[in-house]
Structure 1
């Protein structure tokens, strides 16, 4: 007869009931293992807990029932006067970061086991399910008339007696195991309760500062069961759990607009912490949408520097993880293109090539191609096309996209950008290359392509080809206003003014709305031919469709008249524009230069005096914005004109007005004017005024003025003032006063540097050199040059 050891039905209690049964055929629902596993206890941190493989895993309902049971039992003990047992609380996270440490059990789980074991013992129900099943099965067989052998009957009786004995032994064993478990639990909780008293205060404070993660709350350990029940209260009792209400799209847009205005007005030289402060004070969630929108608004303002600063700030923020970094860089490329910054755009484009997430797509290629084409960077544009057609030069991490292929073929927008570059470079071969590429790829040029080809032919002065491509375009497309603009400029260059007028009239008969550029170019064409009255008729049409101020249109007409030598037409338009708009400073400077180029000094001086009179009516800061005052370019025009016409009085007047208006002395431009005035014997006060202006501004006078002042003082026999001009110079300027420079000055002014004067200069120089401990190289070169002149003369 063989016996089979049955599976332990109470693995959580830590004992194994000893039971042996005869080798009867077992029912199909019994699964008998070969050998039961004994529970082991692991000792860690001066405590004994149950093995991790046999952890008690209560359900959520059992967990709540255990909490209520412990609470009720504690209340009963308090009412009966018994010392309360240590409260059973969930063990907080250990220092290792694991719940309950490495032992796997908590006080609550041990408490549940304790209640479960006691209930089993108190009720006297210590079952060995396998024996009960076998016993009932045999009895059922007997009742049904089954008659086993006598041997089977004896075996059954002996087995039943052993079963009764094992039942009593198992009951006692259950009581002993319960006592051991209870002792271990009390010992373990007594040692840990001291540490919990310290951690309870920390966990309670942590529980108040709830962490909001995806709408859920993470709780620390609490010190009583009532605080555990806070997790099951309604959200109305905890208003701090819910996040703030979501910001509407309109309000978010308003915040972004406000931040963009703030950044647009901020200085680019402000420190990084100030920039971060402005960004965070906007109360914006910096996601992909908000960054892209901010860059777009700054791009509309034309503030490309702040766009780059936003990109740099975004890259340094570790918390900002963009999901659409390619779109952010593309928005930056578009903003830099509007500001016409090809170099910065190319740097951003090269940055996009460094990773797969930002690798350029077709839209990014369009942005960089248009920017480079408008700037005329032909070589860089062809490099972009090669990059577009080639695989990435750098090995990029593609992740799951094993068949990722970013290669693209240039489309019509890229080819049109090449034509734009050909216009700036006047590259005729590039235009034909574009047409050849489109033909090989089976693509048809659109109207914009034909218009750009015509502009290339116009820039290369191939006027016949302009008309030829215009006729080709008319066969497939309806010419737009920009095409007629190219045609009008071509006829203007050919001197066919009447045909240009007929072309615009034909365009209007076809029902094509002319742009401001068409009428503006036609008006300039008429002004260059001296037909300014007809040009003013076209200005009325410009006003209907123009976006630029009217003063810009009039200034362009004046410039066209002066370039063609029609000073009378320019004057007529200048007088006519005052009836409709006030001329700006650019208009005044163009007219001033026109008068001077056509030798009308009196008209130019009268116009200059009118500009000076505008400054007399300024009484507030607002008047500065409206008044037109001369700039440095205006003063330089008048100074050159006064010098050319030898108007020394006017030269002195204009020069002093220039210094009074806060403009500085320019040595390269103004030195020769002052020297010529001094050599002419006129206006010596100009030199003294300049000298005083430079000394007050802590500036070093240039060598020609120093030597000229030295000569003037020698003529006046004022040697002290003459040598003071040299002594005040720093030693770093000594190389500008070499011996040869003094020799040239002596030979050019023989009447000033006579023999007697040279001897006095040598005597004074020796005295100064002996008086000073350090040798002045400027005085030493002066003395040597004087001795050399005297030696030659003797």
Structure 2
């Protein structure tokens, strides 16, 4: 039995069963063919009204929060003595919405800017006990920095360990902020070990950035040895050592003194630790000390690699210890390591500093035989040193030798030997070399052209100098 509804009253009408079945099938086929009619019929029959769309609720809530936030800003700017916590709750209650993390961040920053520090505790208590959202960590970082500026170390520490109560995961960012605050003064630095031990209870671990803050503070107060007190395991030891070696303002004696203290405590260096120490000494131009560190690395059973040998070789050569440089290079070869192009260039530079040009040229030939082809740095370094010593004949022969081997010389190499030829009055050959340079598409510097033209004019070849300029300018225009 079905009920039909009229505009006046309900009447019970008997409908044949066959008609009901046919009507049901037709409605089912139409609803399956049109998704819209399906939901339309569903809500008309079952719900009698359309549900409220979710997106409209979210949009309405967001708009309400924006209006409440605007009302809060208006009240905060109207008077400096207003109770901002009451204003916050009243503003959001007026628009029937919940306070947001940004609203709390706003009133905390306003309290700091207007020096209403006495209200901060009540705001934090209300945030902790009455709100349910996850509080952003940036709020606490700002407050810790504020306490640091006021030198209120205890307040900063208590807030840091209270952060989990605000439904916030503590990260190393908050820890680093607190360390930065404590390390600004000596009395704060003394509290750091206790803070680090207690921070483990809230699952916060030191990272490389944390050690940078601590080591810089210890070095600033001339107490780098106190960094040993931060050591808790092998990884901490390596991290502190690497951080120390990366400091450019730290005295070499401080680092090496700390290294000795670490050794006395029984910490063993690995290959990476020795590499960090060697890099530090090389940057400080401590060639002999770097060589001693390399020997210490070998005594501990670690084989130095090509990079370590090259760094020490460069430092020893810079220190003028050429005999030791030869020993380092020979030791590298005996140990079975194959020098790369950078290692050869460093060694050749040492030969040039000793004016051993013949040995340098032989070394270039040896490089070619060993499969390490010299590059432009190698050629220019040798050629520059030879020209500087005034050995024009040797420079000319070396230049020809390189070109005969198929080596490509750049404009710098051409200009070096051209300048030397002009200085000794060999303008004609310099001119030929300049033409060869231009034919290869290399553009000479204006100073090189000035030298050649000046030499031609001094020899009474003004017209030749003018034609040279015209020819070079024309070819450069084509390029």
Q: How does the TM-score come out when normalised to structure 2?
A: 0.50
Question: Does residue 1:481 correspond to 2:256, yes or no?
Answer: no
Matches within 5 A, 1:62-81: none
Structure 1 gap ranges (5+): 1-5, 9-30, 38-50, 61-90, 103-386, 392-402, 423-427, 618-625, 734-794
Specify the SS of the correspondent of 1:518.
helix
Specify the SS of the correspondent of 1:661.
coil
CA drift at 1:520? 3.8
Specify the SS of the correspondent of 1:646.
coil
Question: Does residue 1:587 correspond to 2:343, yes or no?
Answer: yes
Is the contact made by 1:523 and 1:557 (CA closer than 8 Å) also made in structure 2?
Answer: yes
Is the contact made by 2:443 and 2:476 (CA closer than 8 Å) also made in structure 1?
Answer: no
Question: Does residue 1:432 correspond to 2:184, yes or no?
Answer: yes
Separation in 2 of the partners of 1:417 and 1:683? Answer: 67
Question: Does residue 1:606 correspond to 2:335, yes or no?
Answer: no
Is the contact made by 1:454 and 1:466 (CA closer than 8 Å) also made in structure 2?
Answer: no
**2:308 alignment counterpart:** 553
The Cα offsets for residues 737-756 of structure 1, whole Å up to 9 and x where unpaired, read as xxxxxxxxxxxxxxxxxxxx
* Higher-Rg member (1/2): 1
Change (3 A) 1:454 1:641: farther
1:408 equivalent among 113, 116, 137: 137
Change (3 A) 1:558 1:502: same
1:638 equivalent among 382, 387, 390: 382
Change (3 A) 1:470 1:647: same
**1:57 alignment counterpart:** 25
Matches within 5 A, 1:285-364: none
Separation in 1 of the partners of 2:419 and 2:473? Answer: 20
The Cα offsets for residues 682-736 of structure 1, whole Å up to 9 and x where unpaired, read as 4752442232222232x55444444544455564759468425415625998xxx
Question: Does residue 1:493 correspond to 2:252, yes or no?
Answer: yes
Matches within 5 A, 1:233-632: 407-409=136-138, 411=170, 413-414=172-173, 432=184, 443=199, 451-453=211-213, 455-456=215-216, 462=220, 464-471=222-229, 473=230, 480-483=237-240, 493-494=252-253, 502-503=260-261, 505-508=263-266, 512-520=267-275, 528-529=287-288, 532=291, 535-541=294-300, 543=302, 550-580=305-335, 581-596=337-352, 599-602=353-356, 605-615=358-368, 617=369, 627-632=371-376
Separation in 2 of the partners of 1:594 and 1:417? Answer: 46
Is the contact made by 1:7 and 1:36 (CA closer than 8 Å) also made in structure 2?
Answer: yes
**2:49 alignment counterpart:** none
Is the contact made by 1:519 and 1:541 (CA closer than 8 Å) also made in structure 2?
Answer: no
Separation in 1 of the partners of 2:317 and 2:15? Answer: 112
Structure 2 gap ranges (5+): 4-9, 38-101, 107-131, 142-169
Change (3 A) 1:36 1:522: closer
| Cα RMSD after superposing both structures | 5.5
Is the contact made by 1:519 and 1:539 (CA closer than 8 Å) also made in structure 2?
Answer: no
**1:692 alignment counterpart:** 436
Is the contact made by 1:528 and 1:564 (CA closer than 8 Å) also made in structure 2?
Answer: yes
Change (3 A) 1:650 1:609: same
**1:661 alignment counterpart:** 407
The Cα offsets for residues 573-627 of structure 1, whole Å up to 9 and x where unpaired, read as 111111011222212222233344xx4011x541343223433x4xxxxxxxx72
Is the contact made by 1:543 and 1:550 (CA closer than 8 Å) also made in structure 2?
Answer: no
Is the contact made by 1:481 and 1:518 (CA closer than 8 Å) also made in structure 2?
Answer: yes
Specify the SS of the correspondent of 2:137.
coil
Separation in 1 of the partners of 2:330 and 2:431? Answer: 39
Change (3 A) 1:678 1:502: same
CA drift at 1:550? 1.4
Matches within 5 A, 1:747-786: none
Change (3 A) 1:569 1:726: same
Aligned residues between the structures:
327
CA drift at 1:495? 8.0
Separation in 1 of the partners of 2:388 and 2:374? Answer: 20
Moved more, 549-558 or 705-714: 705-714
Change (3 A) 1:677 1:607: same
Matches within 5 A, 1:17-36: 33=12
Bigger RCO (CA 8 Å, 6+ sep): 2
Separation in 2 of the partners of 1:418 and 1:653? Answer: 65
Matches within 5 A, 1:177-216: none
Separation in 1 of the partners of 2:133 and 2:341? Answer: 58
Change (3 A) 1:691 1:418: farther
Separation in 1 of the partners of 2:341 and 2:105? Answer: 51
Change (3 A) 1:495 1:32: closer
Is the contact made by 1:639 and 1:651 (CA closer than 8 Å) also made in structure 2?
Answer: yes
Is the contact made by 1:454 and 1:486 (CA closer than 8 Å) also made in structure 2?
Answer: no
Is the contact made by 2:430 and 2:452 (CA closer than 8 Å) also made in structure 1?
Answer: no
Change (3 A) 1:528 1:455: farther
Change (3 A) 1:431 1:480: same
Q: How does the TM-score come out when normalised to structure 1?
A: 0.33
